Chains A and B, each alone.
Chain A
Amino acid sequence: MQNLIKNDAVTEDAWRLIRSEDESYDAAEDVILPLAAWLAVDPAARSGQAAPWLAPDADLSLLRPVLAQLPLIAIDFPAFTDGRGYSLARLLRERYGYQGELRAIGDVQRDQLAYLARVGFTVFAIRDDRPAEAALDGLRDFSDQYQATVLQPEPLFKRRTQR
């Protein structure tokens, strides 16, 4: 998972994405696990960190009790035309107050980044066959927005009438 954009730059980190529950990994590795596998992890049995990735139809209530301690949540985009992850992100940020890293994984490409950032994603795992460098520009497509979402909680109509 080394095609990452974070803090407006292409970067690398130690998290390894585990796609299937059958995939093996070391106790010392920092891993992003399918939600069900993550729920079953025994923290005492490992030294590395573990975080969950959510399918677009994930039930967020399972995470609520532990949100405050989570360093990272990933949301999967099985296809870039599947927009459910955008709603999950806003819910996690705005309703449940999640403060940690929110990472977009799966079919994540340049043209989604502007919107992903606005609903609260902070890290983008660009699809392997696409250069993350080029995707970076996607974050700069728009300089403002009409709506009230995570990156800009004041809708434009309010900022207008305040002027």
Chain B
Amino acid sequence: MYKYDEVDHRLVRERVEQFRDQTRRYLAGELSEDEFRPLRLMNGLYVQRHAPMLRVAIPYGHLSSTQLRKLSHIARTYDRGYGHLTTRQNIQFNWPALERVPDILAELAEVEMHAIQTSGNCVRNTTTDAFAGVAADEYLDGRAYCEIIRQWSTLHPEFAYLPRKFKIAVSGSADDRAATQVHDIGLHVVKNDAGEVGFKVIVGGGLGRTPLVGKTIREFLPTRHLLTYLDAVLRVYNRFGRRDNKYKARIKILVQAMTPEAFAAKVEDEWAHLKDGPATLRDEDVAHYASFFTDPAYEQLAANPEAFTVPLVSDAAFAKWVARNTRSHKQTGYRSVVLSLKKTGVPPGDITAEQMDAAADWADRFGFGELRVAHEQNLILPDVKESDLYEVWQLARQHGFATPNVGLLTDIICCPGGDFCSLANARSIPVAEAIQLKFDNLDYLFDLGDIDCNFSGCMNACGHHHIGNIGILGVDKNGEEWYQITLGGSQGNHTAIGKVIGPSFAQADVPLAFEKIMNLYVEQRLAGERFIETVRRIGLEPFKERVYAKSH
């Protein structure tokens, strides 16, 4: 993991003090509400329905056990004993008092954490594959570049007041698990024919009101040019992105208006002046950052030890959990464990202080003191020996962390919705729960297999509903909460925006609509065909007919 040096520490502390003074001036009436808003947002502080909400950055989802313990301390001391993991690998606290936020930030700074640029119209936390560095299908580890980008974007003097927020995602594996195609910039770490490492650059993806899949503007950008090229993209956006209408201010609208080709040409023009400038990365610079992301001291182990294979056969519940909640690891004898935060009855992504402490202990005891946050809003123990899995599972079960549903229909990605968010059209949490209750039969759920279900409480799409295989969007009909269902969306290598199947549903009817959709899938699927594949093959019509058929 990256370790702060003296300068990193100093800058974060200075940011805390700057924010402390901004808060003081606001409370003293020296800053108006309108003036304070962008300043607090740039530091992760929203004012929501009930209270302020503080979003703390978890850079590219990496967390040490020490940091997680600090987060649990903050949840207990300044909040109501829990936090919420977000789809951008951050954590949110829903109930802090405004006056105490500077103290929270000071505590975070002690463990190399902050809330810098976790919201506001600036470059946000860079996200990546939660399994970066350990995934068996990874060809390049992008984490050193994530850290390089994190530092470049942190307090960037030129790009603090962009037209709109700006999100960058990095992926280095065969399977894109970072949703790079729906980010303002998606970077794929790749090797060219000459064996040189670089990036494929995708620009202008995003969801929200205008969901768009990003366009590749450069097939190969050599590593050393990463920062000068990012400066060029951001500068074109900063200068020419629309500022008159916040719904048209994202870079995707600029790319669409200019055409991707013209946008790419404009970036190349700008870059021609920046290329090979002072921000060009030398090999030793990259090596410096890569040195923080080396392998921990893995033991040389044989695969499938008895301590693993025996309970796998004797304990069906354990086997189910292993099948869904663990992943293959690049190191033989190890697996990564996904601690599911999708227990029925708990808002997706919510994690209690007790769970944080427990997970931190397991990270120390069974791993190397590291954890990851997945954009699916789960927590990950990246390095667990197969021989320890049975014990980890039992512990996880005791702590409500072992719902064996990772990647299944009930592993719902869900925004806070109307219970917390003032922009919401509808609540999301109770509806997600109703769906989880409807599909509480594990055998049936397993039989349905991989299904991404994504839920947003309004068209801002914080829950990524457009790229759910099945997506739900809260809509407002004359002051009532209704829900629109989309099918056919997907993330990853085949990113696609889902299509609305028809008129929206009242809250009570959503689970039934889901049931009809799943029944049809089970009837229609070919052997081994996943839900999304069936949807792609047979199209939306049969689903529409089934869902909207008049009942007899």
State the A residues within 8 Å of B (CB).
Answer: 57, 80-84, 86-88, 90, 95, 109, 111, 114-116, 118-119, 137, 141-149, 153-158, 160-161
Interface residue B288 (Cβ < 8 Å from any Cβ of A): yes
The yes or no answer to B509 lying at the interface (CB within 8 A) is no
Residue-wise, chain B 246-289 has the 8 Å CB interface mask toward A (1 for contact) of: 00000000000000000000000000010001110110110011
Of B5-13, B179-187, B325-333, B427-435, the one contacting chain A is: B5-13
B238's contact among A87, A95, A143, by CB below 8 Å, is which? Answer: A87
Once the chains bind, are B159 and A86 in contact (CB under 8 Å)? yes
For A116, list chain B residues within 8 Å (CB): 157
Give the number of chain B interface residues (Cβ < 8 Å).
Answer: 42
Residues 216-242 of chain B: 1 if any A CB is under 8 Å from the residue's CB, otherwise 0? 000000000001000000010011000
Report B241 CB to chain A, min CB distance, Å: 9
16 A-B pairs besides A86-B158, A87-B158, A158-B278 with CB distance below 8 A are A82-B161, A83-B121, A83-B163, A84-B238, A84-B243, A86-B238, A114-B157, A119-B157, A145-B11, A145-B155, A146-B152, A147-B156, A148-B277, A156-B7, A157-B148, A161-B282
13 chain-A/chain-B pairs, Cβ below 8 angstroms: A83-B159, A83-B161, A84-B239, A84-B243, A86-B238, A90-B235, A116-B157, A119-B158, A141-B14, A144-B10, A147-B157, A149-B157, A160-B285
A158 and B282 CA atoms in complex are apart in Å by: 8
Among B21, B159, B235, B278, which residue has its beta carbon within 8 angstroms of that of A155?
B278
Does B519 interact with chain A (Cβ within 8 Å)? no
Q: How far is the CB of A84 from chain B (nearest CB, A)?
A: 6
Provide the bound-state CA to CA distance between A95 and B239, in Å. 15
B99 CB within 8 Å of chain A: no
Q: CB < 8 Å: which of B157, B163, B278, B282 contacts A118?
A: B157
For the complex formed, measure the closest distance between the CB of A94 and the CB atoms of chain B, giving whole angstroms: 8
CB-CB < 8 A to B161: which residues of A? 80-83, 86
Q: Which single residue of chain B is at the shortest CB-CB distance from A150? A: B157
User: Do B288 and A160 touch across chains, with their CB atoms under 8 A apart?
Assistant: yes
Chain B residues whose C-beta falls within 8 Å of the C-beta of A86 in the assembled complex = 157-161, 238
Q: Please, how many angstroms separate the alpha-carbon atoms of A153 and B238 in the complex? A: 21
Are B160 and A83 in contact (CB-based, < 8 A)?
Answer: yes
Bound CA–CA A109/B161 (angstroms): 14
Distance from A76 Cβ to chain B, minimum over Cβ atoms (Å): 14
B151 at interface by CB-CB < 8 Å: yes
Residues from chain A with Cβ under 8 Å of B235 in the complex: 87, 90
Q: Are A155 and B11 in contact (CB under 8 A)?
A: no
CB distance from A88 to the nearest CB of B (A): 8
CA A144 – CA B22 in complex, angstroms? 20
When distances are taken between beta carbons in the complex, the residues of chain B under 8 Å from A160 are: 5, 7, 285, 288
CB-CB under 8 A from A143, the residues of chain B are 10-11, 14
Closest to B289 in A: A157
One digit per residue, 1 when the CB lies within 8 angstroms of any chain A CB and 0 when it does not, for chain B 64-88 equals 0000000000000000000000000
Does B105 reach chain A (CB closer than 8 Å)? no
B440 in the interface, Cβ–Cβ < 8 Å? no
Q: At the interface, yes or no: B493 with Cβ under 8 Å from chain A?
A: no
Contact check, A141 vs B18: say whether CB atoms are below 8 A apart: yes
Chain A nearest CB, measured from B43 CB (Å)? 11
> Do B284 and A142 touch across chains, with their CB atoms under 8 A apart?
no
* B38 CB-CB contact with A under 8 Å: yes
Are the C-beta atoms of A161 and B238 separated by less than 8 Å? no
Distance of A145 Cα from B10 Cα, bound (Å): 10
Closest to A137 in B: B21
Decide yes or no whether B137 CB sits under 8 A from chain A: no
Sorted nearest first, the 10 A-B pairs with minimum C-beta distance are A83-B161, A118-B157, A115-B157, A148-B278, A146-B151, A148-B279, A86-B158, A141-B18, A157-B285, A161-B284
Min CB distance, A38 to chain B, in Å?
21
Report chain A residues within 8 Å CB of B239. Answer: 57, 84, 87-88
* B132-163 with Cβ < 8 A to chain A: 148, 151-152, 154-163
Tell me, in angstroms, the Cα distance from A109 to B156 when the chains sit together. Answer: 18
Query: With A and B bound together, what is the CA distance between A40 and B152 in angstroms?
Result: 41
Assess the A146–B238 pair: CB atoms within 8 A. Answer: no
In the complex formed, the residue of B with least CB distance to A156 is: B7
Q: CA separation between A87 and B233, bound complex, in Å?
A: 12
Q: Is B39 an interface residue (CB 8 A)?
A: yes
Q: What chain B residues lie within 8 Å of A156 (beta carbons)?
A: 7, 151
Asked if A161 and B285 sit within 8 Å, CB to CB, the answer is yes
Within the assembled complex, what's the spacing in Å between the Cα atoms of A114 and B156? 11
Assembly CA distance A143 to B131 (angstroms): 35
- Expressed in whole angstroms, the minimum distance between the Cβ of B461 and any Cβ of chain A is 23
CB neighbours (8 Å) of B175 from chain A are none
Q: Taking the complex as formed, is B35 at the interface, i.e. its CB lies under 8 A from any CB of chain A?
A: yes
Distance of A143 Cα from B282 Cα, bound (Å): 25
Complex: how many Å from CA A142 to CA B18? 9
A161 to B148, CA, bound (A): 13
The proximity string for B residues 23-54 relative to A, scoring 1 for CB distances below 8 Å and 0 otherwise, is 00000000000010011000000000000000
**Docked pose: A87 CA to B241 CA in angstroms:** 13
Contact of A81 among B10, B11, B38 (CB under 8 A): B38
Q: Specify the chain B residue showing the minimal Cβ separation from A163.
A: B5
List of A residues within 8 angstroms of B5 by Cβ: 160
A161 to B151 CA separation, bound complex (whole angstroms): 15
Quick one: closest A residue to B38, CB to CB?
A81
Q: Which residues of A contact B18 (CB under 8 A)?
A: 111, 141-142
Find chain B residues with CB under 8 A from A145 CB.
11, 155, 157
CB of B163 to closest CB in A, whole Å: 8
